[in-house]
A and B are shown apart, each in its own frame.
Chain A
Amino acid sequence: MSTYSLSDETAVGAGQSSGSASRKQELGNWLRTSGAGVAAGVAWVAFGFSCLLWDDLGDWSRTQSLGIGAFVIAAVALLGTFSADFLGSAGSALRHRAPWLLVLGLFLTLWEIATAKFAWFPLPFFPPPQAIIEVYTDDLPKLLDSVFASIRLQLGGYVVGAALGFLTGVSIGWSRGVGYWVHPVLRFIGPLPATAWLPIAFFTFPSSWSASTFLIALATGFPVTVLTWSGVASVSNAYYDVARTLGAKPSFLVLKVAIPAALPHVFVGLFMGLGSSFAVLVVAEMIGVKAGLGWYLQWAQGWAAYANMYAALIVMSLLCSGAITLLFKTRDRLLVWQKGVVKW
């Protein structure tokens, strides 16, 4: 940093007479803002060449399309970098993400060479990128069916679990009587991993779908209950005093004081519940349910279709990450009054 400022000063001090120094400085500035974008473009060109230059060791149908796709991305990256100044927010977004684009291009090039071209990693356990692309193009209907099945199951269980957990948490936090009866049950059952119920649940429930919904709801409900409860219990008495002197009835104290004050805690519970319910979802689909991404993984393993497994894993990761992003966006919207929130 200090070297830069030093050279800046000399450039200014030398004045207009030394044009080469200022030109050098301009080049330095340009490299700092656009260097990563250019390098990213070069990396993607390299990835394209790595696809097309050598023959595949295996039989994959999308190698050529992938190579062309890489060139297209390289072209977009280069053109975008050169005209970033005229592209507004898209340009600055590209500049911001260019280092990642560069790393991704390098990673894909290495991956391509190490698998499809020279098999430094043993096939078929490490499929090349084109094999995964092939799954997305050729096995799309089955993959989409699995995605929708997973979303349906997860959403149903999560909504039921979150709603019941929230209601239970508020009741325990608010009423001593409810707390007396529910708290011991919660302590006994809550810490049990929901997956431990799996064998029993699949016998006792009428369908594997209802059993899985129950398990996901259980996994979600426990953290939501505990955190809602602690949220309601930790609301400052001063808030209640204020509301009471202003004429608030008990229902107002619950709905308009306790619950809004507890919401930050509730969202922590919802976040934790989401994480543990993903785990239950995948296990339930692998063991009992004949649909969904967990089942797809299991099925692909049975056929030794390793590319399909990687493809499903990537989709699953995008879905889970997307769900958490959605939750955090909802929270940021509801809790605008809070300062200093966790960034996701």
Chain B
Amino acid sequence: MVASSLAQSIAYRAVGAALDIENVSHAFDIDGAALPVLEDVSLIVEPGEFIALLGPSGCGKSTLLRLVAGLDRPRSGALRQDDDRITGPDPSRVVVFQDPTLFPWRTVWDNVALGLEAQGILKSHRQRVDAALDLVGLSAFRNAYPHQLSGGMAQRVALARALVNDPKILVLDEPLGKLDSLTRITMQAEIVALWQRKGFTTLLVTHDAEEALFLANRVIVLSDRPARIKADIRVERSYPRHRGDPHLAELRKQILTLLGLDATW
């Protein structure tokens, strides 16, 4: 499943979009006081790259993703997708949230069809819904309702709902955070395989260093709130990766040291 070579994934790279985050700062208003969450974050993401944003909980990772998705506008700075400024949500940048947030009143199939329906192109693209369900291996559950699914299955449906739009940038906001460890391992491999097959640019927020190293080309380590970029670590390892790889273990130690957690190593 994951057996595509590096050359093949490079050939697909054209599908993904470049992302340019330029001196972005952001703050929340809490009881009239401004609480800074992002401070002068700059990051250039090449088309087709798999970026992991790693940082302590509550540091502003998810805020950065909401800005990339266009759900919020930054206080200052700019975000660009292929030189076009991001001013609002667009189906070419799809988010998979930590909770699957499937619509409980829709069947699995109708949930996956949501994006196409919202864009008014469902009628002519019904087979794309079937294909996306096939991709995550849930064709048999097309008529099930979300409350009948397990947590891992629900998150797979959420993934299919994102992929059916053929996104240029896939934004993953700790999508595996609430899954049990076995389902997590399976889905990590599936995400890598999908990324290699489709070639979209991927932004993954996680607080799990091992997950970041297993999946990403580059791991961006963020500081405590307000988040600044502490380190930009390239992971020069081909896929599929092995969890026991000594190089990854070395990088993991380096990252935990950056986060001030080296004592636990």
A residues with a Cβ closer than 8 A to B are 236, 238-239, 241-249, 252, 256-257, 260-261, 263, 335-339
Say yes or no: is B240 at the interface (Cβ < 8 Å to chain A). Answer: no
Nearest CB of A to B147, in Å: 6
Say yes or no: is B95 at the interface (Cβ < 8 Å to chain A). Answer: yes
Besides A247-B89, A256-B117, A263-B105, 4 other CB < 8 A contacts? A241-B101, A247-B119, A256-B118, A337-B105
Contact of B71 among A239, A241, A248, A338 (CB under 8 A): A241
B residues with a Cβ closer than 8 A to A are 69-71, 89-91, 93-95, 97, 99, 101, 103-106, 114-115, 117-119, 145-147, 161, 165
Q: Are B97 and A238 in contact (CB under 8 A)?
A: yes
Q: Are A247 and B71 in contact (CB under 8 A)?
A: no
Residues on A with C-beta less than 8 A from B70 are: 245
Q: Are A245 and B95 in contact (CB under 8 A)?
A: yes
Find the B residue at minimum CB distance from A336: B145
Contact of A241 among B90, B93, B97, B115 (CB under 8 A): B97
Q: Are B145 and A245 in contact (CB under 8 A)?
A: no
Most buried by A among B104, B106, B145, B165: B104
Secondary structure class of chain A's binding surface, majority of residues: helix
Nearest CB of B to A230, in Å: 18
Q: Are B95 and A338 in contact (CB under 8 A)?
A: no
Residues on B with C-beta less than 8 A from A239 are: 101, 103
Nearest CB of B to A263, in Å: 7
11 A–B contacts from the bound complex (CB under 8 Å): A238-B99, A239-B103, A242-B101, A242-B103, A246-B91, A246-B114, A247-B91, A247-B115, A252-B118, A335-B105, A337-B105
A336 to B94: give the CA distance in the assembly, Å: 29
Residues on B with C-beta less than 8 A from A338 are: 104-105
Find the B residue at minimum CB distance from A238: B101
Contact of A246 among B99, B106, B145, B165 (CB under 8 A): B165
A246 to B171: give the CA distance in the assembly, Å: 12
Q: Are B114 and A243 in contact (CB under 8 A)?
A: yes
Q: Are A247 and B145 in contact (CB under 8 A)?
A: no
Find the B residue at minimum CB distance from A252: B118
Nearest CB of A to B212, in Å: 23
Nearest CB of A to B239, in Å: 27
Residues on B with C-beta less than 8 A from A339 are: 147
Residues on A with C-beta less than 8 A from B118 are: 243, 246-249, 252, 256
Nearest CB of B to A48, in Å: 52
Most buried by A among B104, B117, B118, B119: B118
Residues on A with C-beta less than 8 A from B119 are: 246-247
A242 to B95: give the CA distance in the assembly, Å: 7
Find the A residue at minimum CB distance from B93: A245
Q: Are A247 and B103 in contact (CB under 8 A)?
A: no
Contact of B145 among A242, A263, A337 (CB under 8 A): A337
Q: Are B94 and A245 in contact (CB under 8 A)?
A: yes
Contact of A261 among B71, B90, B93, B105 (CB under 8 A): B105
A338 to B103: give the CA distance in the assembly, Å: 11
Residues on A with C-beta less than 8 A from B146 are: 337
Contact of A257 among B89, B94, B103, B145 (CB under 8 A): B103
